[in-house]
Amino acid sequence: MNVRQETQELLGRMGVPAGRLSGGDLVVRSPVTGEKIAALKSISAADAANAIEAADKAFRVWRNVPAPKRGELVRLLGEELRAHKADLGRLVSIEVGKIPSEGLGEVQEMIDICDFAVGLSRQLYGLTIATERPGHRMMETWHPLGVVGVISAFNFPVAVWSWNAALAFVCGNSVVWKPSEKTPLTALACEAIFARAVARFGDAPEGLLKVLIGDRAVGEVLVDHPKVPLVSATGSTRMGRDVGPRLAKRFARAILELGGNNAGIVCPSADLDMALRAIAFGAMGTAGQRCTTLRRLFVHESVYDQLVPRLRKAYESVSVGSPLETSALVGPLIDKAAYSGMTRALEAAKAEGGKITGGARVENGHAEAYYVRPALVEMPKQAGPVLEETFAPILYVMKYSDFDAVLADHNAVGAGLSSSIFTRDLMESERFLSVEGSDCGIANVNIGTSGAEIGGAFGGEKETGGGRESGSDAWKAYMRRATNTVNYSKALPLAQGVSFDID
């Protein structure tokens, strides 16, 4: 099987010419085999700034297009994604190493957000508000914002872009996208697919979407550019600590979607068959490389000995292998650095008394591909690496006896993205969802931490960054709100009863 050739064919079918794939400085490898599949040219800082200027020009035209008409462009984007779902899903598998159903699932998530955004394009509502003054009317108007910068991570290389872009476009904005340097090919594919939608739409301004291929320096141009009023950045907490203050310094808005250290609690009344399946997908799916991956599991002492041996068995038997050639459930890690991070965390866990099942590297005949068996680590307590996010398939399991104590442990980490509880006891589930319960942006009952639908707002608290993307009213972050007070009377009453009468 020739991965490089297949990559070229897939990209060709989606509209990316082969000439763009070679001769550049940015080497792209497939984690499936470790082989080089492209070498793209990085954009210079000056050209990145020019791209932002072009996107700003496009914004000034696009903002005047009625929102439902803007929705039509996103509807066409959804159609093009449907038409190219198989190819783009396969390319996600090649570039990220996702198993086929997850590669396709990622594209489905893009289609779903397009559908959502089309409906939203007729629902960008503001309030009307009772005023204290006679003959006056007060209302809110939501206006387009400007150029929306999107910085995306390797693990959801296209879906996260689409959550931002689909909303940004219907909200009247243009988009400048800096994809992860580990996954620029899927970004080029999206650029080409979007260009098809634009061609069918007819009169969209040039520059509505700009893709900046390059490394951190290119991302910095986007973060620091005065014509970018909002940057939505997905990645590590370390990245967010850099990006957040830079945006704050110039009073730009940030949507930060950073690390997660997501936990599940299995209570005495839990349906253990269901919990087992949810835990397996949450912890081992996507080779542990979702920001919503289940990383910590608290199991009540009364069910620990029923559940954990079954989990161990699942870890021992899960299939690990090439997502392109086998039906394995666990594909490769993204690169060597991810593998080293996993090894380091497992060593640290061992030093803290952790008992490890799995975790070894799986040879697959490619020296530069990093396949591992997912690791289940039974820990005596929550300490050391359990408190950190390691972007790899490691699940730390701990025993608990007291519900209040486990809620405290649940929340005693830096990140606050996703969480779940398995219980049939209403008081436990409601307490978990209450203000004293999970402190995360996502709190679930009897389903796992990962695999959220686009209809809800996606994001988390604390070191996860506080941003919300995708559904619900997340669109409001992509627009600016004006409060309008209109006087249709002949008098000029001042608010709060103030008098200021000039002759």
Residues with a known catalytic role? 257, 291
Please tell me whether residue 104 binds ligand UN1 under the rule CB under 6 A.
no
Among 84, 290, 373, 462, binds ligand UN1 (CB under 6 A): 290
Please state, in angstroms and rounded to a whole number, the distance separating the CA atoms of residues 300 and 214: 48
Please state, in angstroms and rounded to a whole number, the distance separating the CA atoms of residues 82 and 104: 10
Residue closer to ligand UN1 by CB (options 155, 364) is 155
Q: Which pair of tokens denotes residue 149?
A: 């910068």
Please tell me whether residue 452 binds ligand UN1 under the rule CB under 6 A.
yes
Task: Give Cβ neighbours of residue 49 (< 8 Å, ≥ 6 apart).
Answer: 221, 225
Are the C-beta atoms of 175 and 3 separated by less than 8 Å?
Answer: no
Q: Which pair of tokens denotes residue 144?
A: 């387009």
Please tell me whether residue 450 binds ligand UN1 under the rule CB under 6 A.
yes
Residue closer to ligand UN1 by CB (options 322, 449) is 449
Backbone angles phi, psi at 281, to 5 degrees: -65, -45
Q: How far is the CB of 444 from ligand UN1 (least distance, A)?
A: 10
Please tell me whether residue 295 binds ligand UN1 under the rule CB under 6 A.
no
Are the C-beta atoms of 196 and 21 separated by less than 8 Å?
Answer: no
Strand-pair partners of 422: 266
Are the C-beta atoms of 398 and 381 separated by less than 8 Å?
Answer: yes
Q: Which pair of tokens denotes residue 90?
A: 């396969």
- What's the distance, Cα to Cα, between the start and end of the chain in Å? 88
For residue 364, CA distances in Å to 4, 86, 283, 332, 394 come to 18, 26, 22, 10, 20
Please tell me whether residue 471 binds ligand UN1 under the rule CB under 6 A.
no
Q: How far is the CB of 461 from ligand UN1 (least distance, A)?
A: 16
Please tell me whether residue 163 binds ligand UN1 under the rule CB under 6 A.
no
**Coil, strand or helix at 53:** helix
Q: CB under 6 A: which stretch of 87-95, 173-181, 319-327, 448-456 binds ligand UN1? A: 448-456
Please state, in angstroms and rounded to a whole number, the distance separating the CA atoms of residues 479 and 141: 10
Please tell me whether residue 30 binds ligand UN1 under the rule CB under 6 A.
no
Please state, in angstroms and rounded to a whole number, the distance separating the CA atoms of residues 466 and 262: 15
Please tell me whether residue 291 binds ligand UN1 under the rule CB under 6 A.
yes
Q: Which among 238, 168, 243 is positioned nearest to 209, based on CA atoms?
A: 168
Q: CB under 6 A: which stretch of 66-74, 117-125, 284-292, 431-439 binds ligand UN1? A: 284-292
Please tell me whether residue 261 binds ligand UN1 under the rule CB under 6 A.
no
Among 155, 162, 174, 232, binds ligand UN1 (CB under 6 A): 155
Please tell me whether residue 98 binds ligand UN1 under the rule CB under 6 A.
no
What mask of x and - would describe binding to ligand UN1 in positions 207 to 246, judged by CB under 6 A? ---------------------------x------------
The 3-class secondary structure across 217-277, one letter per residue, is HHHHHHHHCCCCCEEEEECCHHHHHHHHHHHHHCCCEEEEECCCCEEEEECCCCCHHHHHH
Q: How far is the CB of 214 from ligand UN1 (least distance, A)?
A: 21
Helix H segments across 132-208? 159-170, 184-201
Are the C-beta atoms of 396 and 377 separated by less than 8 Å?
Answer: yes
Distance of CA 190 to the CA centre of its chain: 16
Q: Total residues at the site for ligand UN1 (CB under 6 A)? A: 11
Q: Which residue is nearest to ligand UN1 (CB)?
A: 452
Please tell me whether residue 156 binds ligand UN1 under the rule CB under 6 A.
yes
Backbone angles phi, psi at 210, to 5 degrees: -125, 135
Q: CB under 6 A: which stretch of 50-58, 153-161, 309-317, 339-347 binds ligand UN1? A: 153-161
Among 71, 78, 144, 451, binds ligand UN1 (CB under 6 A): 451
For residue 302, CA distances in Å to 56, 270, 272, 306, 307 come to 60, 11, 12, 8, 10
Q: How many CB atoms lie within 10 A of CB 313?
A: 13
Q: CB under 6 A: which stretch of 136-144, 169-177, 289-297, 355-363 binds ligand UN1? A: 289-297
Please tell me whether residue 284 binds ligand UN1 under the rule CB under 6 A.
no
Q: How far is the CB of 103 from ligand UN1 (least distance, A)?
A: 13
Residue closer to ligand UN1 by CB (options 155, 429) is 155
Q: CB under 6 A: which stretch of 6-14, 179-187, 265-273, 288-296 binds ligand UN1? A: 288-296
Residues forming contacts to ligand UN1 in the complex (CB under 6 A) are 109, 155-156, 160, 234, 290-292, 450-452
